[in-house]
Amino acid sequence: MTDTNKKVALITGITGQDGAYLAEFLLEKGYIVHGIKRRTSLFNTDRIDHLYQDPHETEQRFVLHHGDLTDSTSLIRIIQQVQPDEIYNLAAQSHVAVSFEEPEYTANSDAIGALRILEAVRILGLEKKSRFYQASTSELYGLVQETPQKETTPFYPRSPYAVAKLYAYWITVNYREAYGMYACNGILFNHESPKRGETFVTRKITRALARIKLGLQERLYLGNMDAKRDWGHARDYVEMQWLMLQQEQPDDFVIATGVQYSVREFVDIAAAELGMQIRWEGEGIAEKGYDISNGKCIVTVDPRYFRPTEVETLLGDPSKAKAKLGWTPRISFAELVKEMVQEDLRIAERDELAKRHGFGAFDYHE
Ligand code: NDP
Ligand code: GDR
C-alpha cells in the first residue's frame, strides 16, 4: 500500500554513491522512493542498507526493483508500475578508465540507457507526468575549449564514457524540445564522499593513506598526478539534482565549486589530515612521495593508471545555478577531505583489528 498524496521518485543507480544520498534526501522530503538495482552475484546494497524497509510493512516508502539500463523491457515494466513524478537517471558504467576497456557496454548503458528510459516514458504516455533528470558530466568538456567551463562551453569528450554521456546529454535535450518533456541535464563536476567507489582517485587516496598509516599497506600507486579537478561533496550535489526538477521550466545547469586542486595536492591534504607529511622527488613516471617521518617511499607512479586520452584540467563556473537555483556548496573542500579520511581511518582500524585476530586483511591496488 502507498500514500497517493506523496510524490513518487524513481532512481536508477540507487546503489551508487549519488543514488544513496539522493534516496536519503528524497525520503526526508517525504517522497516515496523507488530504486532500480541490477542483479549481482553478491549483495550490492551496502550504501542503502540503512534505508531498507521490510516489504511486508503496510506503508511502502522505499522499494527496490530489479532492472538494468541495458534491458528496455525491465525499464518499461518498472516505470509503468511506479508511475513516477520524477525520474533520476543516475545509473551508468561511471568509471572513465574502465570505459576504454568496455567501450561498447559503456555506450549501451550510458548512452542508449538514457534513450531507453525516455522512450519508456513516451511509450507509456507519461511525457507530461514524469520529470526526467540526466546525470551529465564535466567529462563532456574533456579537452577544454574555455576556462572555467559553463553551460555554453563547447564539448570535446575524451573517453568512450564521455562520448556515451554526450549522446545522453543531447537525447535529453532532444526529447525536451521534440515532445515537450520536462527533461534536464545536470552537468556535475566531480563530487566525492566517504561513499565514493574505492577506485576513483580521491577515495583510492584516502583509503590507501589510512591503511599505510596503520601498517596495512606499503604503498599508493597512482597515474597522472598533475590532473586537476573541481571536487565537491556528493551530499550537496544531490540537492541540486532535485532542485533542477522543481523549476517552472526545464533547463541544464553546471554544478561545481569553482575551485580546483591537482591529484598531488589532494594527496598532500589527505596526508596532513592523518598527521603525515610527504616529500616529493623526481618527475613524470619517476616521481615518488616519501613519508618524512620515516623516509619510506609511500607513493609512486604506475603507468597502468594512465589513460589513452586524458582530461588534464576541469574547473566549473556555477554562476547560472547560483542565480537560478540558489546554489552554494555547504561543505568545503577541507571538510570533504577530512570526512573521507576519518571514515577510511575508521575502516582501516576495523581491518587492523581483524588482522590482529587472525582474519586476513587484503591489500589490492585498483
Ligand atoms: P557510481 O558508479 O557510484 O554508481 C553507478 C550506479 O549505476 C550504481 O548503482 C550501479 O550499480 C548502477 N549501474 C551501472 N550500470 C548499470 C546498468 N547497466 N543498469 C542499471 N544500473 C547500473 O556513480 P555515482 O553515484 O558517482 O554517479 C552517479 C551518476 O552521475 C553516474 O551516471 C555518473 O556517470 C554521473 N556523474 C558522476 C559524477 C561524480 O563525480 N560522482 C560527476 C558527474 C556525473 P552497481 O552498484 O550494481 O554497480
Ligand atoms: P574522473 O575521476 O575520471 O574525473 O571521473 P577519477 O577519480 O577516476 O580520476 C580523476 C583524475 O585523477 C587521475 N588519476 C587517477 N584516477 C584513478 N581513478 N586512479 C588513479 O590511480 C589515478 N591517478 C591519477 C585520472 O587520470 C583523472 O585525471 C569521475 C567519475 O565519477 C565520472 O563518472 C564523472 O563523470 C566525472 O568524475 C566527473
Least Cα distance to 308 among 93, 95, 94, 97 occurs for: 97
How far away, in angstroms, is 54 Cα from ligand 2 center?
37
Q: Using the predicted structure, report yes or no on whether residue 331 has a pLDDT greater than 60.
A: yes
Q: What is the CATH number that goes with domain 201-228+261-311+332-356?
A: 3.90.25.10
- Residue-wise DSSP of 58-127: SS--EEEEE--TT-HHHHHHHHHHH--SEEEE--S---HHHHHHSHHHHIIIIIIHHHHHHHHHHHTT-T
Q: Is the CB of 267 under 6 A from ligand 2?
A: no
137 has catalytic annotation:
yes
How far away, in angstroms, is 226 Cα from ligand 2 center?
12
Catalytic residue among 21, 31, 161, 182: 161
Q: Using the predicted structure, report yes or no on whether residue 92 has a pLDDT greater than 70.
A: yes
Domain ranges of the chain: 8-188, 201-228+261-311+332-356
Q: Is the CB of 172 under 6 A from ligand 1?
A: no
Ligand nearest to the CA of 15: 1
Cα–Cα distance for residue pair 118/172, rounded to 1 Å: 8
Q: Is the CB of 224 under 6 A from ligand 2?
A: yes
Residue nearest to atom 2 of ligand 1 (CA): 94
Ligand nearest to the CA of 95: 2
Instruction: Note the pTM of the prediction, 2 decimals.
Output: 0.97
pLDDT at 359 (0 to 100): 85
pLDDT at 306 (0 to 100): 98
The mean of the pLDDT values for the chain is 96
Going from the C-alpha of 302 to that of each of 223, 284, 365, the distances in angstroms are 6, 10, 10
| Least confident span in 251-260, 286-295, 350-359 | 350-359
Q: Using the predicted structure, report yes or no on whether residue 361 has a pLDDT greater than 60.
A: no
Q: Is the CB of 94 under 6 A from ligand 1?
A: yes
Residue pLDDT, tens place only, 193-208? 999 999 999 999 999 9
Cα–Cα distance for residue pair 159/64, rounded to 1 Å: 32
pLDDT at 5 (0 to 100): 85
Domains 8-188 and 201-228+261-311+332-356 share a fold: no
Task: For residue 148, say if its preceding peptide bond is cis, omega within 30 degrees of 0.
Answer: yes
Q: Do residues 161 and 142 touch, judged by C-beta distance below 8 A?
A: no
Q: Using the predicted structure, report yes or no on whether residue 27 has a pLDDT greater than 90.
A: yes
Q: Across the strands, what pairs with 35?
A: 11, 64
* Mean pLDDT value of segment 303-332: 98
How far away, in angstroms, is 21 Cα from ligand 2 center?
20
Share of residues in the chain with pLDDT > 90 (%): 94
Q: Is the CB of 68 under 6 A from ligand 1?
A: yes
Residue 37 grid coordinates: 538495482
Number of other residues whose CB lies within 10 A of the CB of residue 354: 12
Residue pLDDT, tens place only, 36-90? 999 999 999 999 999 998 888 888 999 999 999 999 999 999 999 999 999 999 9
Higher model confidence: residue 366 or residue 228?
228
Q: Is the CB of 289 under 6 A from ligand 1?
A: no
Residue nearest to atom 44 of ligand 1 (CA): 137
pLDDT at 365 (0 to 100): 54
202 has catalytic annotation:
no
Q: Using the predicted structure, report yes or no on whether residue 188 has a pLDDT greater than 60.
A: yes
How far away, in angstroms, is 15 Cα from ligand 1 center?
8
Ligand nearest to the CA of 255: 1
Residue nearest to atom 8 of ligand 2 (CA): 200
Q: Which atom of ligand 2 is nearest to the CA of 137?
A: 35
Q: Is the CB of 81 under 6 A from ligand 1?
A: no
* Mean pLDDT value of segment 164-169: 99
Catalytic residue among 12, 31, 106, 139: 139
Cα–Cα distance for residue pair 122/364, rounded to 1 Å: 45
Q: Using the predicted structure, report yes or no on whether residue 179 has a pLDDT greater than 60.
A: yes
pLDDT at 55 (0 to 100): 84
> Does CATH number 3.20.20.80 belong to domain 8-188?
no
Q: Which atom of ligand 2 is nearest to the CA of 223?
A: 23
Q: Using the predicted structure, report yes or no on whether residue 1 has a pLDDT greater than 60.
A: no
Question: What is the interface pTM, i.e. ipTM, of the complex?
Answer: 0.99
139 has catalytic annotation:
yes
